[in-house]
Structure formats: structure tokens, C-alpha cells
Structure 1
Amino acid sequence: MAAFAARAPALPIAVGYSGGADSTALLLACAQRWPGQVRAWHVHHGLQAAADAFEAHCRGVCTRLGVPLAVAHVDARAQPGESPEAAARQHRYKAFDLLAQSHTELAAIQSVALAQHADDQVETLLLALSRGSGLPGLAAMPAKWHRGALHYYRPLLAVPGAALRHWLRQRGEAWIEDPSNADTRYTRNSIRSQLAPALAAVFPTYRATLARSAQHAAQAQLVLDEVAAADLAACGLPPRLADLQALTPARQANALRHWLAHAHASVPSAAQLAELQSQIAACRTRGHAIRLKVGRGFVVREGGALHWLPASEPPQASG
């Protein structure tokens, strides 16, 4: 719980709880540290036949611990051209927003703890490198950030996954093994089972070294975010086409990425961003229409500005 050491998060706190080893360790640690101040949030993604069993397991553990559990059911299937991981992530955060708003007993929730650990951080960075990602991808996962009214924390980013499982075994705690984690058709699983052991053999301290590189990328990205925020302040929100056209291509791309990511939680691919910039450059007449698919929505032209139209339905919550 190193991220909570200096300053405790606002309580009560919700823990994203899947039933796996990592989130089980986080839930137990938080429940021990803040008795009566912890809630568990489980997202039923609807992607596996075992999803109902996952939910049942979580309900049993939470009953034993005396931790209130709330469940959000979502349809996390990816749209054409969208990665399954990105789709599940977006649905999960929307479900957390809904859980924070829909349950009166959780109305005071301001903080959410997530269980990604050191191995997840390395996998995220290696995935970003394999995809040719820019600084946002190379910065990997932040230890803390906020989304709307919720403040998120990842207190386990410095802890290896094996250490979490050892801690659970010492306490006789059981967890769910998601069968999809062994499916090497997913690149992240191949990194975990094949590349990570090779890295450990050649670079024993690779977790800390790659984490340091991610921190450097994150610092550089903060500077780009400041530039983007200043450029968008000049362009207005929604951004005006004429002001976007006045920016250099690099600053325009930076501003567009910032707008889509921070205002609409959507990250354009390199091809989508290039096409959007091409359309902006060509948009010299009132009749030039823009409607481009980006993530789970569309960027469209309305008058002299760009707008965002979402293409997904909100999840339904139950408690």
C-alpha cells in the first residue's frame, strides 16, 4: 500500500474487485487497514460463460469479510476496429461512474483503488512499444489520477504479482484464475508467459528499470498536456476548425489527442488521427463534412467546430 502511505485516500473507498488474486489481495489489505470504510465494486463483463461464477465468488468473499458489494452488468464486446482490452477498460470505468451515482449507500465514495501491479505495468509498457505508441502509451499506467468526481489509485504498481499470491497463500485465501489469462492469442498473456521470464533471466531488475523509463515518459507527457491545454484554450471547446488549422501539425495532433482523451475518453489510432488531420486541412468550405470513427464514437463537423458523438449505451447497475 505504498501509494497510500504518505496520504490516505478519501474514505470510504471502493476497490475494483474481479475475484482474481491481485484484486483479492488489494481488497483484503484495504479492509484490514480501514475496517468499515471499504466497498467492493465488481464489473460483470458478460464476455465469458464463467462470469456468473466470478460474481458468485465475489459475493461470497465480500459476505465473509463484511464488505458491501455492488455489481454492474455491462456488455463489453469490442466494436469493429477496437481492441477487446480497450473496450473492457472503457466499459469498466463507465460502470464505476454508474456505481458511484446509483447506490445511495455509496454516495460518499470519492476514491477507487485498482489492483494493477508491477508485472502489469511492465506488460503495459512492452505492449506500447510493440504497437509503436507515443508518450501516452510509454508512460504506462499512472499511480493516481482522477476521472470526473472519482479519484483513482493503483497502490500495487511496485509489487510483483508473485508477491501478492505468496501473501494470499500465507493467509489461506482463495482467488479465481481467469481462464482467459492463459490464452496466448492475447499479446499480453504471451508477454507474461514467454517474454517476462526471458527478461528476468537477462535483466533481473527489469521491473524497476522499465518503471523508471515509464516515469520519464510520463513527465514528458505532462509537458505536452500543458501545451495541449493551452492550445485548446485558444481553440475553444468544442475546438474551432480555423484555430486548429493555425497550429503546426505536431501541436494540432497533440491538441486533438488531448481533447479526445480527456474530454471523451477516446484514444485515436495513428491512422484515425492522420485521417482527421487530413480532413481538417481540407476543410476550407462550409460544405465540407467530417464524420470519422474514433474509438467508440465519431468526430463530426458542426458549423465551424469539431464535435464528439458517442456510439455506446451506458451499463446497468445492480446491488
Structure 2
Amino acid sequence: MAASPTPRPNLPDPDGNPAASSLAGLQLPLPLAVAYSGGADSTVLLLAAARRWPGQVQAIHVHHGLQDAADGFEDHCRSTCAALSVPLQVRRVHARHASGESPEEVARTARYQALARAAREAGLHAVLLAQHADDQVETLLLALSRGAGLPGLAAMPPVFQREGMVFVRPLLLLSAQAIRAWLREQGIAVVEDPTNADTAFTRNRIRHLLLPALAECFPQYRETFARSSRHAAQAQDLLETVAEEDLARMGGTPAITALQMLPRARQANVLRHWLRKAHAASASAAQLEELLDQVADCRTRGHRIRIKVGAGFVQRQGERLQYGADLSV
């Protein structure tokens, strides 16, 4: 017996969509896409975007293939987009992680690559993501738990570029409660990812156990945490500017003598910036401290520097530092 088609959803009353006000003042390059999972957050975003820019919005659904329910998610997305007359692209990705890799990071990377590629091929100029205020708080708390610096404490930026595409998060000031309350009021069906209830994942433990406690103790925590993240982002922007100026004075790559003339904290700032921007590498706190010690001790021509960072090595080449394969082999 053939499977019954997924029922076409009733179109909601557009008034009152909490995502609408988040999009009202945005001036974005058109046409654009919404990353659409079929869940609550991306549903309110898609509905608001389709109304804000009629005929200029497409949806992109990434099928990770990591759980049995994934095919049902795709069917739901197709049905909703058909009812809205919004074109839909479905991209299937291989997001299985290897030993030692973070499954969340592997899935995230695959998702961004798929979204950017689909948007470029369709001639779209931006992709809207549906992360909201609760997601931002979870990201900040995860960063704090890992002892992150300013980039981590800045949490998720509202606008960024990745894989050659502009990504925008317009809902970062909107709570999950407001989103779900409106969906219930409108009787809008959404997909529920069963893994979201699995407290084996740290982010889910934060969502289900910690956020309710925060709400009880600090009712305005979303707003105050967001303010702290904005302060961290502003401070990080300033540090990036200083690092770029210091590196430019060195000719674009770290020079040992010039580094030694800077305070240690400023040396660290330059080296972190150089590794991240020029080589997409990130040194741990211990690796960076070791590198700074080696730079401080580098007073003779024969002094070697060789520090493992990420997939490569920071090594001395004459009076400069370079990053890449191990030169000693």
C-alpha cells in the first residue's frame, strides 16, 4: 500500500509572528535562502521571511542521514514549502565523524558547506539561520565551561561569512518560548528532532536542566548574557585591529625581534591572530604559553623553535616564524 502524502499545513495568520519584527529593519541582498530544518525555529523564520520578501526567498534543507526520522523531516519540509510556494532545495551530506572528531563539529561543518554551495548554485546572496536567544546563551555557557577567551565569549555573531557565503542570524534576541508559544497558538505542526531530548549531549543538559534554573534566579538572563557577549565581541574586534597593525609593522609574518619588543599579552594577541587568519589554526593555552617562552628565549641565531599547533608546526625560519609541515623531518 502506498504511503499517504504528508498533509499540506494550514497557512497561519501572519500577524503576530515573533520573527517578523526581527526581519523588519533588515536590508539584505536578494534573493536569499532560509536554512530550513522543519523545526520550530526555522519554521517561524521561513514564514516571516517569505512574507517580508515575497518571491525572493528559497529554502534549503540539509539531510544529514544520521537518524531514521530524517526522511520524514524532508517530507515535512517539502509539504510546507509547497503550501507557501517557496522553492526548496534538499542537500544530502555525509556527516559521520571519525574517531577523535566531534560529531557536532563534523555535522556543523558539513551543514555550512552544503548551505553555502546550494545558495551559490541558486544565485542567492545570503542564508538566514534560525538560532535564537536561548541558543546564544547555550553557546556562551559552553564557551565558559571550556575556559574560552573573548572569541568564545562573544558567542555567535549575527552576521558572518563562511564558505564564500554571507550568513545572517536575525533571531538572536528572540526567545525559544516566544517562538513555540506562537506556533502553538497558530496550530502549526513542526518536526521534533528526538535527539534534542537526549541529555547525553552537553548542550541538551544546559537546555533542559540549567536554563530553567537560570530563569528562576535571573529572569532577564537572556538579555544580560547577550549584553556580555556583545561587550566581548567589541573587545575582540579591538584586539583584532591591534593585531593586524602589529603584524603589518612586521611585514605580515611574525618577526622574532619585533615580537620581543612587545608586552607578552600583545605577543600572544599577534600570534593567535596570525595563526587563525593566515593558517586557520588555533593554539591551545599551553601551546601558546610554550611558544611565547620560546620566543622570549630566542636570543641566539642557533636557537630552534618547533611547537606543534593543530595539524602543523610553528617553527623558526631565520628571524621569522612560519607555520606548516615539520621542517626537521
TM-score under structure 2 normalisation? 0.78
- The Cα shift of 1:212 comes to 1.2
Q: How does 1:132-147 map to 2 (within 5 A)?
A: 132-147=147-162
Q: Would you say 1:84 and 2:103 are equivalent positions?
A: yes
Q: How does 1:22-37 map to 2 (within 5 A)?
A: 22-37=41-56
Give unmatched runs, 5+ long, in structure 1.
Answer: 310-319
Question: Which residue in the other structure is 1:306 paired with?
Answer: 322
One-letter code of the match for 2:238?
Answer: V
Is the 8 Å Cα contact of residues 282 and 309 (structure 2) preserved in structure 1? Answer: no
Q: Would you say 1:254 and 2:269 are equivalent positions?
A: yes
Is the 8 Å Cα contact of residues 287 and 307 (structure 2) preserved in structure 1? Answer: no
Structure 1 pair 72–29 and aligned structure 2 pair: CA distance change class (3 A): same
The more displaced of 142-151 and 184-193 is: 142-151
Match of 1:151, SS? strand
- The Cα shift of 1:14 comes to 1.1
- The Cα shift of 1:227 comes to 1.2
Distance in structure 2 (CA, Å) of the matches to 1:80 and 1:280: 34
One-letter code of the match for 1:67?
Answer: V
The more displaced of 20-29 and 255-264 is: 255-264
Is the 8 Å Cα contact of residues 19 and 58 (structure 1) preserved in structure 2? Answer: yes
Question: Which residue in the other structure is 2:285 paired with?
Answer: 270
Is the 8 Å Cα contact of residues 21 and 175 (structure 1) preserved in structure 2? Answer: yes
Is the 8 Å Cα contact of residues 45 and 74 (structure 1) preserved in structure 2? Answer: yes
TM-score under structure 1 normalisation? 0.81
Question: Which residue in the other structure is 1:17 paired with?
Answer: 36
Question: Which residue in the other structure is 2:63 paired with?
Answer: 44
- The Cα shift of 1:61 comes to 2.1
Q: Of 118, 126, 136, which aligns to 1:99? A: 118
Q: Of 22, 25, 36, which aligns to 1:6? A: 25
Distance in structure 2 (CA, Å) of the matches to 1:195 and 1:152: 29
- The Cα shift of 1:111 comes to 1.6
Structure 1 pair 285–43 and aligned structure 2 pair: CA distance change class (3 A): farther
Is the 8 Å Cα contact of residues 300 and 308 (structure 1) preserved in structure 2? Answer: yes
Question: Which residue in the other structure is 1:180 paired with?
Answer: 195
Question: Which residue in the other structure is 1:218 paired with?
Answer: 233
Question: Which residue in the other structure is 1:67 paired with?
Answer: 86
Q: Of 135, 138, 141, which aligns to 1:120? A: 135
- The Cα shift of 1:160 comes to 0.8
- The Cα shift of 1:279 comes to 6.8
Count of residue pairs brought into register by the alignment: 302
Distance in structure 2 (CA, Å) of the matches to 1:136 and 1:97: 23
- The Cα shift of 1:234 comes to 3.3
Distance in structure 2 (CA, Å) of the matches to 1:17 and 1:31: 12
- The Cα shift of 1:215 comes to 1.4
Higher relative contact order by CA 8 Å / sep ≥ 6: 1 or 2? Answer: 1
Identity %: 54
Give unmatched runs, 5+ long, in structure 2.
Answer: 1-19
Distance in structure 1 (CA, Å) of the matches to 2:258 and 2:195: 43
Distance in structure 2 (CA, Å) of the matches to 1:192 and 1:24: 20
One-letter code of the match for 2:28?
Answer: P
- The Cα shift of 1:78 comes to 4.1
Q: Of 174, 190, 202, which aligns to 1:159? A: 174
The more displaced of 222-231 and 284-293 is: 284-293
Bigger radius of gyration, 1 or 2? Answer: 2
